[in-house]
Amino acid sequence: MSASAETGAPALAGASAGGPAVHGETLPNGLQVVVIPDRRAPVVTHMVWYRTGAADDPPGKSGIAHFLEHLMFKGTERNPDGVFSRIVADLGGQENAFTSYDYTAYFQRVAKEHLPTMMALEADRMTGLVLSDAVVAPERDVVLEERRMRVDGDPGHQLVEALMASLYLHHPYGTPIIGWMHEIEGLNREDALAYYRRAYAPDNAILVVAGDVDPQEAVALAATHYGPIAPARAPRAPRVREPEIVASLRVSVADAKVEQPLLQRYYLAPSVTGAAPGETEALEVLARCLGGGTISRLYRRLVADLELAASVGAHYSPLAVDLSRFGVYAVPREGVALDRIEAALDEELAAVVASGFPEEEVARAKTRLLAAMIYAQDSQYALASQIGAALTIGLSAADVAARPARIEAVTAADVHAAARRVLQSRRSVTGLLVAA
């Protein structure tokens, strides 16, 4: 309808979604270093990403990657007993860590002059961790409380666990990142140290520095602090592959605490590592067209026109080492049965598979996707996180920089083809959250 909808995304002309210059280099010991200059404020974000995550947990030891992430704050010989966190706090810094299926990352945000101190501390922690049973036992209790808090008190989260375990029948993405309760209970100091020695090494890591820093200086600092650490030469082992699923599965969680039912469905979908060129970009655009906000197809139909749903959405993440997933959900309005909303959802999905989307809806979705990339440039933390996550799963900085242009190139025909390929019930799991 408007000019911008017809001609792609001129609304964004003049602004580059590709982001600022990114400086990349690899140290002789295999540590990949990425520097993203952002000179607006005198602060830096310092992150170390390891190419190891929950999907690399050994069988029977689910949760060990995440548990180790907690234990990484327990100290080294040089910096024992919370010295690391104390120094960061004394310098006015912020720190934290997170574990995903494919990576584990640690970060600090500090005034720029403290970057060398952060590097010294994080480099020391890469190989110097010291653990005693006295600190391991209470931290395991903390993780058990974390699981009780996030999952065991929340039927909605229990449904997500059941969906993932059913979508990935064989691949470790079906096991929760935090681990299964009975396996977390059995994790110990030796498990954590064995995992640590195998996976934590410079050639299995990516250092990302964003902020008010000169790239050459940052690389030189990295060489000083991280350079002396010996590589492990033990790259991540390939995981088992998910078999071809020929059944559409259904799971449900029924709980007396549920007052608002909902439906969620996951489809297996390719990730950047296994997709044809342009395919994951088309899937991102598809997720926007289908369920991104109030102008999306599912919203217009199920919420606005038919007045069956209170909310709907679609989501897809291209970043995964192995097969990813495409999800849709619908929350029924009061008095609308789940099977009615499922029938309406199926009807809309069938229409998309049959006919795709008009150019105008595709153009609008692309405009918003590209704008989100530009808005993300406001935050050095967001930029550093995007690069870190992409590199841990095997992309290059050039791939990240090229993504906006590839999104721009997606056509309505591409989106239609992606919908036909992915929205197949024989590769899906449908989950229902219902009152007991």
- Going by C-alpha positions, the residue among 164, 240, 241 that lies closest to residue 429 is 164
- Going by C-alpha positions, the residue among 49, 42, 48 that lies closest to residue 110 is 42
Residues 246-265 that bind other proteins (CB under 8 A): 256-260, 262
Q: Which window, 81-89, 124-132, 184-192, 273-281, contacts other proteins (CB under 8 A)? A: 81-89
The answer to whether 235 and 416 have CB atoms below 8 angstroms apart is no
Of the two residues 378 and 426, which places its CB atom closer to other proteins in the complex? 378
303-325: burial string, b at 16+ Cβ within 10 Å, e else? beebebbbbbbbbbbbbbbbbbb
Q: Which window, 56-64, 125-133, 143-151, 228-236, contacts other proteins (CB under 8 A)? A: 143-151
Closest separation between CB of residue 325 and other proteins, Å? 22
Residues 11-40 that bind other proteins (CB under 8 A): 11-15, 38-40
Which residues have C-beta within 8 Å of that of residue 374, sequence separation ≥ 6?
12, 15, 16, 17
The answer to whether 275 and 91 have CB atoms below 8 angstroms apart is no
Instruction: Give the residue, chosen from 21, 78, 80, 149, that forms a contact with other proteins under the rule CB under 8 A.
Output: 149
User: Which of 6, 25, 69, 242 is an active site residue?
Assistant: 69
Q: Is 145 in the site for other proteins (CB under 8 A)?
A: yes
| Residues 320-349, mask of contacts with other proteins (x by CB under 8 A) | -----------xxxx---------------
Residues 154-213 that bind other proteins (CB under 8 A): 154, 156, 211
The answer to whether 154 and 101 have CB atoms below 8 angstroms apart is no
Residues 263-322 that bind other proteins (CB under 8 A): 293-295, 300, 303-304, 307, 310-311
Instruction: Give the residue, chosen from 380, 386, 428, 430, that forms a contact with other proteins under the rule CB under 8 A.
Output: 380
Closest separation between CB of residue 41 and other proteins, Å? 4
Closest separation between CB of residue 29 and other proteins, Å? 30
- Going by C-alpha positions, the residue among 155, 214, 162, 156 that lies closest to residue 36 is 214
What tokens were used for 13? 């002309």
Provide the 10 A C-beta neighbour count for residue 381. 17
Q: Could you give the CA distance from residue 341 to residue 274 in angstroms, rounded to a whole number?
A: 33
Residues 60-79 that bind other proteins (CB under 8 A): 73
- Going by C-alpha positions, the residue among 347, 373, 358 that lies closest to residue 295 is 358
Closest separation between CB of residue 50 and other proteins, Å? 21
Q: Could you give the CA distance from residue 435 to residue 15 in angstroms, rounded to a whole number?
A: 49
Q: Is 364 in the site for other proteins (CB under 8 A)?
A: yes
Triad 17, 22, 206: Cα angle to 5°: 120
Told to judge if 69 belongs to the known catalytic residues of this protein, a careful annotator would answer yes
Closest separation between CB of residue 123 and other proteins, Å? 20
Of the two residues 371 and 417, which places its CB atom closer to other proteins in the complex? 371
Of the two residues 189 and 198, which places its CB atom closer to other proteins in the complex? 189
Of the two residues 4 and 127, which places its CB atom closer to other proteins in the complex? 4
What tokens were used for 255? 């709980």
The answer to whether 97 and 104 have CB atoms below 8 angstroms apart is yes
Catalytic residues: 69
